[in-house]
A and B are shown apart, each in its own frame.
Chain A
Amino acid sequence: MTALGAAAALRARQISSLELTLGCLARIERLNPQLNAFVTVTAELAIEQAKRADGELAEGLDRGPLHGIPVAHKDLLCTNGVLTTSGSKIFANYVPNFDAAVVDNLHRAGAVMLGKTGLHEHAYGITSTNPHFGAIRNPWDPERIPGGSSGGSAVAVATGMALLATGSDTGGSIRVPASYCGVTGLKPTFGRVSKFGALPLGFTLDHIGPIARTVRDTAAALRVMAGFDARDTASVDRPVPEYMPPAGELLLAGVKIGIPQNFFFENLDQTVDNAVHFMAYTAEDLGAELVSFRVPDGRQLNVIAQVTLLAEAASVHEPYLRRRRMEYGDDVRALLDMGRLIPATDYLQAQRLRRRILGVYLGLLQKVDCLLVPATPVAAPLIGQSEVAIGEAMEDTRLAATRLVRGFNALGLPVLSMPAGFSPAGLPIGCQLVGRPWCEAELLRIGAALEDRTELWKRESPYQT
């Protein structure tokens, strides 16, 4: 069931928030021992909130489309009185006395909090194979990773353990798990959604966004999560528009979609290439014009983003790394150590370069409404797999998973990740729609048109039924 489908059923009195919530809790109880999506389940709180939501609706108080909808929060978002571990030993016992901005926004919109979802340790990685909490498993094949770092959120949504979830994205951490798990995720424009109360990793790269079954559910969640927040120094004071795409058949006449000739379609698994081109031709069939052009070298942009993240993450973790070094997992400690060695001049030049490349992308995005590119070069790898085969070449699993997503964190552009197809083995494949700053509504409209036509979201994982 989608969040908006549940919302309609609630208002038609076909189901109550309590029934929805108990259904999700029962699913969590059944599936979480196998998939490990949740770190903490707040069942009593969820039941209390669901009863309140039902009472308010009965009294005529309707807080909007997410009123009474069960949601899950990534466990790096602070939750008042509820454990917030960041998937780490460092914060294993951290219980904040405040809510992160997006947690608060969703609460005020009437959403019901089911609990906290697992992640790659400190959100610094894409496998979600966590040394302290165990591996999170992909619902399409539990021997495979769900992607990360928001792995638990994507699994929760893909299996119906939650109808919506929050995620964070510093180098692809919403879009990679959305792609591997066959769900939709949005990394908004930098500054669109408050980062207040999100434990930081790369403070100029971190983005908070929704993960959902459908594009329209994503739009409903973004509407609630977005908005100015003076507590976040990156937050921008701009009006929050209506993001919900219109109902009915959406056509794409007059829409120009850019298909890069270089970088994004190089070194891909053939099934990924086919799936993303299928989406392009679907857009064309809906009336869009496909425009081919070259983009700046993505490998260079990735290096700029990597240098930035290595330095910023090492800066954030320095006090813990010095005193509690052995409490980090091996992979995260190795990255933090590397970050301590990044020259200050390289970090500073990276900031000048990202600004310059952003200028080039903004020029390209004057010619088209969005770019359509793959999310990951291959479908989900196996747990523990350190290299993936792409064509005849072997590539580091982590670098492969992030090479098509990471650069957009450095540019701050909005990116929608949505299903594009399935591999012959039945694993989901994702694509990205990349837009102009603050133009999430346009991305969501294009995404909804593609989703309505392809109906890929309706295919259910073995754990969904």
Chain B
Amino acid sequence: MSTAMGPDWKALAAAQKIEIDDKQRERLEALAKTMLGLRGMIDWSEEPAISFRVDPIEEAGQ
């Protein structure tokens, strides 16, 4: 189910009984690759559930 570039997106889609074309596959690959790279920016010491606080912007904007 995976390739050197990450998951086999077409196979994953087929498992959900949908078909994706090459353009969709390329976009999913690009998104996944960038997200993988962005993991370096995550503060792993931060409480992860804080992302689900309803209004983080309010306190930050005070």
CB B39 to nearest CB in A, in angstroms, measures 6
CB A417 to nearest CB in B, in angstroms, measures 20
In whole angstroms, what is the CA distance A337 to B41 when docked? Answer: 28
In whole angstroms, what is the CA distance A312 to B41 when docked? Answer: 23
Query: A304 near B60 (CB under 8 angstroms)?
Result: no
Query: A306 near B31 (CB under 8 angstroms)?
Result: yes
Query: B51 near A355 (CB under 8 angstroms)?
Result: yes
Report A's interface with B, CB cutoff 8 A: 189-191, 233-234, 236, 238, 299-300, 303-304, 306-307, 310, 334, 337-338, 340-343, 346, 348-353, 355-356, 358-359, 362, 411-413, 436-438
Query: B34 near A358 (CB under 8 angstroms)?
Result: no
Query: B13 near A349 (CB under 8 angstroms)?
Result: no
Query: With an 8 A cutoff between CB atoms, is B5 at the interface?
Result: no
In whole angstroms, what is the CA distance A411 to B61 when docked? Answer: 12
In whole angstroms, what is the CA distance A358 to B50 when docked? Answer: 14
Q: Which residue of B lies closest to A343 (CB)?
A: B32
- A189, A337, A338, A353: the one contacting B57 at CB < 8 Å is A189
Query: A351 near B51 (CB under 8 angstroms)?
Result: yes
In whole angstroms, what is the CA distance A310 to B28 when docked? Answer: 10
CB A231 to nearest CB in B, in angstroms, measures 14
Residues on the B chain within 8 Å of A352, using CB: 42-43, 46, 48, 51
In whole angstroms, what is the CA distance A151 to B31 when docked? Answer: 28
CB B50 to nearest CB in A, in angstroms, measures 7
Residues on the A chain within 8 Å of B46, using CB: 352
Residues on the B chain within 8 Å of A346, using CB: 31-32, 35
Chosen A-B contacts, 10 in total, with CB atoms closer than 8 Å, are A303-B31, A334-B21, A337-B24, A338-B20, A341-B12, A341-B13, A342-B31, A346-B31, A348-B51, A413-B57
Query: B57 near A300 (CB under 8 angstroms)?
Result: no
CB B23 to nearest CB in A, in angstroms, measures 8
> What 1/0 mask marks residues of chain B from 24 to 62 whose CB sits below 8 Å from any chain A CB?
100110011011001101110010101110111110110
- A307, A338, A358: the one contacting B24 at CB < 8 Å is A338
With a 10 A CB-CB cut-off, give which of B12, B13, B50, B55 has the most chain A CB atoms: B55
Q: Which residue of B lies closest to A362 (CB)?
A: B60
Interface residues of B, dominant DSSP: helix
In whole angstroms, what is the CA distance A206 to B52 when docked? Answer: 16
Between A and B, how many residue pairs show CB distances below 8 Å?
Answer: 91
- B35, B38, B48, B57: the one contacting A191 at CB < 8 Å is B57
Query: With an 8 A cutoff between CB atoms, is B16 at the interface?
Result: yes
In whole angstroms, what is the CA distance A299 to B38 when docked? Answer: 11
- A337, A348, A437: the one contacting B20 at CB < 8 Å is A337
Query: B60 near A307 (CB under 8 angstroms)?
Result: no
Query: With an 8 A cutoff between CB atoms, is B18 at the interface?
Result: yes
- A189, A233, A304, A306: the one contacting B54 at CB < 8 Å is A233
- B27, B43, B51: the one contacting A338 at CB < 8 Å is B27
CB B38 to nearest CB in A, in angstroms, measures 6
- B31, B50, B51: the one contacting A307 at CB < 8 Å is B31
In whole angstroms, what is the CA distance A63 to B19 when docked? Answer: 54
In whole angstroms, what is the CA distance A353 to B55 when docked? Answer: 15
Query: B39 near A349 (CB under 8 angstroms)?
Result: yes
In whole angstroms, what is the CA distance A353 to B31 when docked? Answer: 14
Residues on the B chain within 8 Å of A310, using CB: 31
Given contacts A304-B38, A338-B20, contact A351 B52 (CB under 8 A): yes
CB B48 to nearest CB in A, in angstroms, measures 7
Q: Which residue of A lies closest to B52 (CB)?
A: A351
Given contacts A340-B16, A348-B51, A351-B51, contact A437 B60 (CB under 8 A): yes
Residues on the A chain within 8 Å of B56, using CB: 355, 358
Q: Which residue of B lies closest to A233 (CB)?
A: B54
Residues on the B chain within 8 Å of A300, using CB: 34, 38, 41
In whole angstroms, what is the CA distance A168 to B13 when docked? Answer: 31
Identify the 6 closest CB pairs spanning chains A and B, nearest first.
Answer: A437-B61, A351-B51, A303-B34, A346-B35, A412-B57, A437-B57
Residues on the A chain within 8 Å of B52, using CB: 351
Query: A350 near B35 (CB under 8 angstroms)?
Result: yes
Residues on the B chain within 8 Å of A234, using CB: 54-55
Given contacts A307-B35, A337-B13, A353-B41, contact A437 B18 (CB under 8 A): no
Q: Which residue of B lies closest to A411 (CB)?
A: B57
In whole angstroms, what is the CA distance A300 to B39 when docked? Answer: 11
Residues on the B chain within 8 Å of A236, using CB: 55, 58
Query: A356 near B42 (CB under 8 angstroms)?
Result: yes
CB B13 to nearest CB in A, in angstroms, measures 6
In whole angstroms, what is the CA distance A368 to B52 when docked? Answer: 29
Query: B61 near A303 (CB under 8 angstroms)?
Result: no
Residues on the A chain within 8 Å of B35, using CB: 303-304, 307, 346, 349-350
In whole angstroms, what is the CA distance A358 to B41 when docked? Answer: 13
Residues on the B chain within 8 Å of A362, using CB: 60-61
Residues on the B chain within 8 Å of A337, using CB: 13, 18, 20, 24
